[in-house]
Structure 1
Amino acid sequence: MLKIGYKASAEQFEPRTLLKFGVLAEEAGFDSVMISDHFQPWKHTDGHAPYAFAWLGALGERTTRVQIGTSVLTPTFRHHPSMVAQATATLGVLFPGRVILGVGTGESLNEVPATGMEWPAYKERFERLGESVGLIRELWQRDHVSHEGTYYRTENATVYDRPDEQIPIFIAAGGPRMARFAGRSGDGMICTSGKGVELYRDALLPGLVEGAAKAGRDPEKLERMIEVKVSFDLDRARAMEDTRNWAALALPPESKVGVEDPREMERLAAELTAEQAASRWIVSDDAEEHVERIKTYLDLGFDHLVFHAPGEDQPRFLQLYAEQVLPRLRELSPARLG
């Protein structure tokens, strides 16, 4: 069954305004509202970075139906796994059946300024995430957990307020290794759009299936979430210009690795042309054509589409989507895996 979500742009809007957008998304018919957990935003000028757990608590109180969660939080450096387990469990008690924990290996932009650490190689980040996910689940399942791992320790640790239902953990994947890990250990996989069909078709989704098969799990029971970057407006020029707010996303990975200052990230993004800034986005002023391009991800097998719009007028986007895009999407179904 297809789920349709709204990405709350925490780095773009101040927290109270962002809450209003989350409420509007539920009213517009979206199924989920997801927020990333940044300590620092992609740009310094007019940037924001609210604490995801606090914001989700406020959103949960203002909504009644939508799933809420992180996409993506890093439970390995500035967040100790035991505190992530406690915070997420509290949300699960407050809003039963509505909470998702999305996790990933992190970015130096968020972790280094908050800790002063030296950013480790990918191997360590991957190992830390694996140990962290295991520890979080253990703390949700039993009392008095004494864990002595490679990176984390607990001693007789108990999370006292836990929901009756297990909270799903979605794992962010940008390559086949993380996708296999999501298949083995996750309840779902998260990735982002605009990186070329080959990555999803030949690496991420097959990796998810492979990881699930090796663990004796059914990949069809794992959600395949993708954040789809869309700029939809009846005025195409406006839709194109809106993508400049998130030009940093179009920077090549080698330009972003090791950049820990939002001012420098902003400077690098400002050097991109409008066409380059828009390269990661589905830019459209025609609903039929827009949905046809989104359908590519459904045909690949993704079943939870979370839409991220770059414009300043989010109520306009939500209204346009509710009227012209969501009804068309509801008529479609995701392809099966395998």
Structure 2
Amino acid sequence: MLKLGYKASAEQFGPSELLRYGVLAEQNGFNSVFTSDHLQPWRHDGGHAPAALPWLGALGASTERIILGTSVLTPTYRYHPGVIAQAFATLGCLYPGRVVLGVGSGEAMNEKPLGIEWPEQKERFARLKESVELIQTLWTQERVDYQGTYYSVERATIYDRPETPVPIYIAGAGPAATRLAGRVAQGWITTSGKGRELYVDTLIPALEDGIGKAGRADADVDRLLEVKVSFDHDRQKALEATQFWGALALKPEEKTGVEDPVEMQRLADALPVERTASRFIVSTDVEEHVARIREYVDMGFTHLVFHAPGPDQERFLKLYGDEVLPALRQLG
């Protein structure tokens, strides 16, 4: 069955407001709620960065059925992997079968403000791979001695663990991390709005290569896509809503080395609305909207998490729940 989720934008809303939206997502028929774990938002003015771990605990206590997780958290710098193993085991005990740990290799803007030296991509990927191995080991073995290249534990035990380990989803925008997700994770996370060729010629083949090399079945790995949508009956409002998230439309060369939300905001605000809207499916018509999303379903994505950029998330959740989700369910 196709799963339909809501992206709770921690970079845009404070913890209490965001919690209300997570509850409304469940009430309006969404299957999951995912949030990012940013120390710094994408912009300074109007930006937010509530911590994901306590917020997920509050969301679990405030809801009954939705899947809740991170998209994504970096278990390599601000957190030791052992701390993340403990935290998500606890969440898994509190909300059995409802918790997902989504992980990625991180962004400098979230780590460097704490004085962490930011290494090259090769090391970041190696750290991510090792941290996932350590977390899975701590969840499945009683007493763990582990000596890796970057992390080690000695006679470590996670005493409170759910009967079924929390699934780990690995975020991948390139073939290496995507292949790793296919080999060792229960899910793969990537984002929409890029050229079709990237998905069908590079990423999905890498995922399937990882699945095949591990001797797994396709159904063993959930394919989660963050779909950036701006849906409104007023097209101009739908376009203007994307401006808060202008940083997403910056080219890599435009934002390389930028770790300050103030500077990121300055660069994003200089973009015309046509650029900021380029990463989103901007639509006023349900049939057109669903047709564009169907392209991703046809590629094989099984879990769509919708990120709406506008300030009125309550209106989005009601509108999407009433008009778009019923049509999307027919695709599943």
Q: TM-score, normalised by structure 1?
A: 0.97
Aligned AA for 1:89? A
Aligned AA for 2:220? K
Q: Secondary structure at the match of 2:330?
A: coil
Q: Distance in 2 between matches of 1:257 and 1:146?
A: 38
1:130-279 to structure 2, matched below 5 A, reads: 130-279=129-278
Deviation at residue 144 of structure 1 after TM alignment: 2.1
Percent identity, please: 62
Q: Distance in 2 between matches of 1:293 and 1:181?
A: 28
Cα distance per residue 1:289-327 (max 9 Å; x no partner):
001011110010001000000000001001110111001
Q: Are residues 1:42 and 2:69 paired?
A: no
Q: Distance in 2 between matches of 1:178 and 1:122?
A: 11
Aligned-CA RMSD value: 0.7
- Residue aligning to 1:126: 125
Aligned AA for 2:77? F
Deviation at residue 102 of structure 1 after TM alignment: 0.3
Deviation at residue 232 of structure 1 after TM alignment: 0.2
Q: Distance in 2 between matches of 1:267 and 1:258?
A: 14
Deviation at residue 254 of structure 1 after TM alignment: 2.4
Q: Which runs of 4+ in 1 moved over 6 A?
A: none
Q: Are residues 1:90 and 2:93 paired?
A: no
Q: Distance in 2 between matches of 1:72 and 1:102?
A: 5
Cα distance per residue 1:4-59 (max 9 Å; x no partner):
00000001011000000000000000000000000000001011101101000000
Deviation at residue 143 of structure 1 after TM alignment: 2.1
For the 8 Å contact 1:109–1:258, the answer to whether it is kept is no
Q: Secondary structure at the match of 1:150?
A: coil
For the 8 Å contact 2:127–2:150, the answer to whether it is kept is yes
Q: Distance in 1 between matches of 2:198 and 2:279?
A: 14
1:9-158 to structure 2, matched below 5 A, reads: 9-114=9-114, 116-158=115-157
Aligned AA for 1:272? L
For the 8 Å contact 1:56–1:68, the answer to whether it is kept is yes
Aligned AA for 2:281? I
Structure 2 unaligned blocks of 5 or more: none
Cα distance per residue 1:169-210 (max 9 Å; x no partner):
000010111111110111110000001111111111111100
For the 8 Å contact 1:208–1:219, the answer to whether it is kept is no
Q: Secondary structure at the match of 2:230?
A: strand
For the 8 Å contact 1:108–1:257, the answer to whether it is kept is no
For the 8 Å contact 1:143–1:156, the answer to whether it is kept is no
- Residue aligning to 1:318: 317
Q: TM-score, normalised by structure 2?
A: 0.99
For the 8 Å contact 2:89–2:165, the answer to whether it is kept is no
Q: Distance in 2 between matches of 1:258 and 1:52?
A: 25
Deviation at residue 148 of structure 1 after TM alignment: 1.1
Aligned AA for 2:303? H
Paired positions, count: 332
Aligned AA for 1:88? F
Q: Distance in 1 between matches of 2:195 and 2:180?
A: 21
Deviation at residue 153 of structure 1 after TM alignment: 1.2
Deviation at residue 166 of structure 1 after TM alignment: 1.4
Q: Distance in 2 between matches of 1:276 and 1:132?
A: 36
Q: Are residues 1:281 and 2:277 paired?
A: no
Aligned AA for 2:197? E
Q: Secondary structure at the match of 1:246?
A: helix
- Residue aligning to 1:294: 293
Q: Distance in 1 between matches of 2:28 and 2:135?
A: 34
- Residue aligning to 1:305: 304
Deviation at residue 146 of structure 1 after TM alignment: 1.4
Q: Distance in 2 between matches of 1:197 and 1:158?
A: 44
Cα distance per residue 1:98-135 (max 9 Å; x no partner):
00000000000101112x12210110001000000000
Q: Secondary structure at the match of 1:330?
A: helix
Cα distance per residue 1:131-175 (max 9 Å; x no partner):
000000011111221111100011111111111111110000101
Q: Secondary structure at the match of 1:38?
A: coil
Aligned AA for 1:23? V
Q: Distance in 1 between matches of 2:50 and 2:90?
A: 18
For the 8 Å contact 1:3–1:31, the answer to whether it is kept is yes
Deviation at residue 220 of structure 1 after TM alignment: 2.6
Q: Secondary structure at the match of 1:311?
A: coil
